[in-house]
Structure 1
Amino acid sequence: MAMKVSCGRGIVVTSKDCCAQVLYRYGSAFNSPIRLQTCATKVSHKVIYRSINMTRASSFFESKLSGWKVTKSSYVATRNTGTMNSPVGLSLGEAVCLQPKISHSKNGQEVILKWLGGRELRFHAVWLRYNCQCPECVQPYSGQRLLEAGEVNPDITVESAYVSEDGTELHLKWAGSYHEGHVRLDFLRKNSYHGHKETVSRHQVTQMPSISYEEVMSGKRGLLRWLQHINKDGMCLVKGAPTDLNSLIKVVQRIGPVQETIYGKLFGVESTPNPINVAYSSVKLDYHMDLVYYESPPGLQFLHCIRFDDCVVGGENFMLNVMAVAELFRQQHPADFEILTKVPATFQKVHFARSEPVLMKYQRPHINLNHRGEIVNVIWSPQFEGPLFAEYDDVLPYYQAYHKFSKAIQNSQNCVKLRLKPGEILTFNNRTILHARTSFELNGGERKLQGCYLNIDEYKSKLAVLAHLLEDNQPVKHVGNQCWF
């Protein structure tokens, strides 16, 4: 199926599914505006150059460049043997971005890449050197760095830079080091730190998102959808799971290995005499996170409802996005907010009256910020707080700020309330979502949940890998794990 070009006021190219890519490159070469129309026939599209702003169109058409690469040839090859004479210089192959214009600044200490349409990326020469992807610097199979940490002069400069013939790599020569290497352009776009703004979820849902057990277990698409709900909303309810004691671990292992803690791999949540955890009783539980006395508290928590009899009064769960509460608290009480970012609280689990005695303590502030001042982690678990150990002059200001933040959490109306039903699995991010429970009376019935945890890094890795493999473009949001990204 050959392509057709007509000159004059506009350029018309017809093909089944490649004309947008060709026209974008052709239009970029001549800085022409673009408009896209669908033809009446099912086998072709028509792209006509008219008077729409090029900068508005460029990002749309750049996304359609999959399946092409830049070459030095003077023609465009179609998906059959047809050709089109033009200076476009495209052929079928790997997906790449258009070649940027390259310039240096600060005597070679910076490299600037500028694309048509106005997008500009800046990189320091020393950053590029540490991220060189040539075989001397990175082991090809493992992808691990071979470059020695102290080998690079921080004042290094770039002597020359150019884009490879196929348009996929930036080739560089560093002055004085006699090293020549390359960095992929797609790597530079994904890892640009110039004007970087991370996607951070701060909203609080008022309704619990849900997904069926069958969808989660049936394939990668359903699994990805479940993980994205958790990433976007902090929580998700899996419905229709079997109520046997072996089902939960099978669901969790769809993501990764169960995280073992001082409570084992799986734990039962039901009222017991002499409980080793306050949750294993019928009393009210205020908002909290689990196991914050660990250096790395559990990431995802799973609560599988095995039995919840109708005669049981109470026992409802409440879920609250503490990141959203903290952001609002910063606006309303900036001085108190700052105190909670600097004065460390003590979190502990000290319990000798159990088969395996535990003595764990960890000190850290309630709120952690990154270098941009964004909230990356909030820790809240009053049930497991130990004595404050801080500077004398910080004690009273800390408790004043602590009291206000506690009230902000308790008084927040942006929570989700639910009473679990047998076969439902409550899944939530233990790093961003506080959970609470009302007290309950069994009245001769039974309330039995089974729980477990998953490491936050296992979860985030699985989400990112599935999104990549399934070509899903939704960004992975921050998961509240203290990472500064």
Structure 2
Amino acid sequence: MHRLGKRLVRPLQQLFQSKHSLTRSSPISPLAFRKELVAFNSVAVENDIDNRQLHVKWDDGTTSRFPHIYLRDNCQCPNCFHPSARQRNISDTSVLEAYDVNTKASQAQFYPDRQEIEIKWDKDNHVSVFDTNWLKMRRFPTDRDQVGHKIIYSDRRLWGGDLNGDIPTTDFNEILHDDLELYKWLKNLARVGLTLVKNVPEEVGQVERLADRIAYLRVTNYGRTFTVKSKHDPSNLAYTDKGLALHTDLPFFDLVPGIQFLHCIKQAAGGGGENQFVDGFNVAEVLRKENPYYFDLLTQHAFVYFDIGKDYVEYNQLNHHPLITLNGRNEVIRFVHNNHTRSSILDVPEDKVTDIYQAFHAIIQIMYDPSNLVTNRMESGEMIVFDNWRVLHGRSAFQLTAGGNRHLEGCYIDWDETASRMRAIEEKLKMKNFTGVI
């Protein structure tokens, strides 16, 4: 043994000699879609016993540090991790006995030809083997992006009016029958938040057909699916011929549905009925830049939303959300706004009321700036699918004529199921950017 600085290090075979590409795949399911993780080789491994860490140097010059306790906790051997169930075999009591913070790796051996690291544990002589690509994908946040919403918001494109005439478009039959086309469409939905599907049969049931291709519908107080037609005594303003202000749907749910489908079965013959779309994430970033104080107010204080009536069921929905939601990295991950269902209850301190209204006024001005608006009038046989956590949609008034009523059908699904479907396709198709997961 020898010392490197003040740290005790065990010599390892063939350090700094690996030049091979990774050929082994981790036997576990994919987590996210991150190109930067492909084909990184480890070139050196140092077992820092004093600090209970394994240091792995990569061929891009970076070094990752993995605490021994973390590696012991995540041993991938069949005794610790069930290979087909892909779940830990270990009980909580076993964790208490074996995985204390003083756990040490007594030996760490690097095998460049296999790109594997073999670790022997001091307490019970248990042996763990880690694929280096598996470790690369589990670097801690100082070394890589947090996993979080990455499959949803990785490489996202913010947009304004520049998306007019350039909405990502796909063919209904292609995504219905081809997994790769389905994946590409969902990737565009995650990246841009707004997509157009063409060549949809002009009949009821197509939104459910497409949603079932992904996972399953999110049932709401409006049913499994909902029909948008003008009605007498409507339970929602959408069921009139009036225009609708820019909004996101169903903010009165605790978990707001993530994705909305709107299928145009028949467009209004008398004109009108154009949809407007705005990228809420882009709007939020504009406000953050122009007025950070207003931006902070809209992340820190919630608006109350409600919906009362009878449709699929009798309902009295009530919930609250900030207009802008951030994650731990200060990134916008949710934009909730619906003036139609905003309650008169304003749950903010009295001394903040005027400031809240000023912030509200400022962000609405940005929303309706013509440079941020995308307008699209769906034709019969087209379907708009968009991110309801991000994209605001509105509608111009339309004229009812003897030619018939405007007829749309809609539904919702959640991002959890959609991201799961994307990961499953990555694994099924053995995509080159396939990554692996916990």
TM-score (norm 2): 0.81
Other-structure match for 1:127: 70
**Aligned: 1:435 with 2:383:** no
Q: 2:118 aligns with which of 171, 181, 185?
A: 171
2:225 corresponds to: 266
What residue identity is the alignment partner of 1:139?
Answer: H
**Cα shift readout 1:252-280 (whole Å, capped 9, x = no counterpart):** 21111122111111111111111111111
**How many Å separate the matches in 1 of 2:207 and 2:59?**
52
**Which one of 178, 201, 206 corresponds to residue 156 of structure 2?**
201
**Residue-by-residue CA offset, 1:277-298 (whole Å, 9 max, x unaligned):** 1111111111111112212221
Secondary structure of 1:195's counterpart equals coil
Contact 1:108 1:159 in 2 (8 A): no
Match of 2:321 among 358, 364, 373: 364
Of the three residues 266, 277, 289, the one matched with 1:331 is 289
CA deviation vs aligned residue, 1:407-446 (integer Å, no higher than 9, x gap):
2212252332111111111111111111111111113332
Q: How many residues align?
A: 391
Q: Could you tell me which runs of 5 or more consecutive residues in structure 2 were left unpaired when the two chains were aligned.
A: 1-15, 27-37
Q: Which aligned pairs between 1:39-50 and structure 2 lie closer than 5 A?
A: none
Distance in 2 separating the partners of 1:178 and 1:294: 51
1:389 aligned to 335, 347, 354, which one?
347
Residue 187 of structure 2 corresponds to which residue in structure 1?
A: 228
Partners in 1 of 2:428 and 2:370 — Cα distance?
39
Query: Radius of gyration: which is bigger?
Result: 1
Q: CA deviation at 1:238?
A: 1.0
For the Cα contact (< 8 Å) 2:40–2:59, is it kept in 1? no
- Per-residue CA deviation, residues 379-410 of structure 1 (Å, 9 max, x unaligned), is 22222222112333333332222221122212
Report if aligned partners of 2:49, 2:105 keep a CA contact under 8 Å in 1: no
Match of 1:294 in 2: 253
Match of 1:421 among 359, 366, 379: 379
In 2 relative to 1, CA 394–133 (structure 1 residues): closer, same or farther, beyond 3 Å? farther
Deviation at 1:309, TM superposition (A): 4.0
Comparing 466-475 and 361-370, the one that deviates more: 466-475
Using the TM superposition, give the Cα deviation of residue 243 of structure 1 relative to its aligned residue in structure 2, in angstroms: 0.6
Distance 1:139 1:123, change over 3 A: same
Deviations for 1:332-387, whole angstroms, at most 9, x for unmatched residues?
11111111111122122233x55732122222322222222122222222222221
Of 130, 135, 138, 1:188 maps to: 135
1:14-413 matches, within 5 Å, as: 29=17, 62=21, 65-66=22-23, 98-105=41-48, 107-148=50-91, 151=96, 152-154=99-101, 156-163=103-110, 167-176=114-123, 179-193=126-140, 194-197=142-145, 199-204=154-159, 205-206=163-164, 207-310=166-269, 312-351=270-309, 356-386=313-343, 387-411=345-369, 413=371
Q: RCO greater where, 1 or 2, for CA within 8 Å and sep 6 or more?
A: 2
**Is the 1:347–1:385 Cα contact (8 Å) retained in structure 2?**
yes
C-alpha contact (below 8 Å) 1:344/1:364 kept by paired residues: yes
Q: What is the alpha-carbon distance in structure 2 between the residues aligned to residue 402 and residue 177 of structure 1?
A: 61
1:447-462 matched pairs, under 5 angstroms: 447-462=406-421
Amino acid at match of 2:399: E
> Quick one: percent identity of the two aligned structures?
27
**TM-score, normalization: structure 1?**
0.73
* Contact 1:96-1:167 at 8 Å conserved across structures: no
Task: Give the counterpart letter for 1:408 in structure 2.
Answer: I
Q: CA deviation at 1:137?
A: 2.7
Q: Tell me if structure 1 keeps the 8 A contact 2:274–2:377.
A: yes
Cα distance, 1:281–1:249 mapped onto 2, change above 3 Å:
same
Task: Return the alpha-carbon distance in structure 2 between the equivalents of residues 281 and 68 of structure 1.
Answer: 54
Residues 17 and 43 of structure 2 are in contact (CA less than 8 Å); yes or no, is this contact kept in structure 1? no
In structure 1, list runs of 5 or more residues that go unmatched.
1-27, 31-57, 70-94, 477-485
Letter in 1 for 2:373: C
Q: Whole-Å Cα distance in 2 between the matches of residues 359 and 437 of structure 1?
A: 25
Residues 130/228 of structure 1: CA separation in 2 closer, same or farther (3 Å cut): same
| Distance change >3 Å, CA 399–CA 109, structure 1 → 2 | farther
* One-letter code aligned to 1:122: R
Question: Shift of residue 211 of structure 1?
Answer: 1.0
Computed over aligned residues only, the root mean square deviation of the Cα atoms, in angstroms, reads: 2.8
Distance 1:357 1:117, change over 3 A: closer
Q: Deviations over 1:222-258 (max 9, x none)?
A: 2122212212221211111111113332222111112
Question: Which amino acid is the alignment partner of residue 172 of structure 1?
Answer: I
| Distance in 2 (alpha carbons) for counterparts of 1:173 and 1:390 | 56
Distance 2:201 2:116 in 1: 51
User: Secondary structure of 1:100's partner?
Assistant: strand
Shift of 1:164: 5.0
Determine if the alignment matches structure 1 residue 470 to structure 2 residue 429: yes
Deviation at 1:101, TM superposition (A): 0.9
CA contact (8 A) 1:97 1:168 kept: no
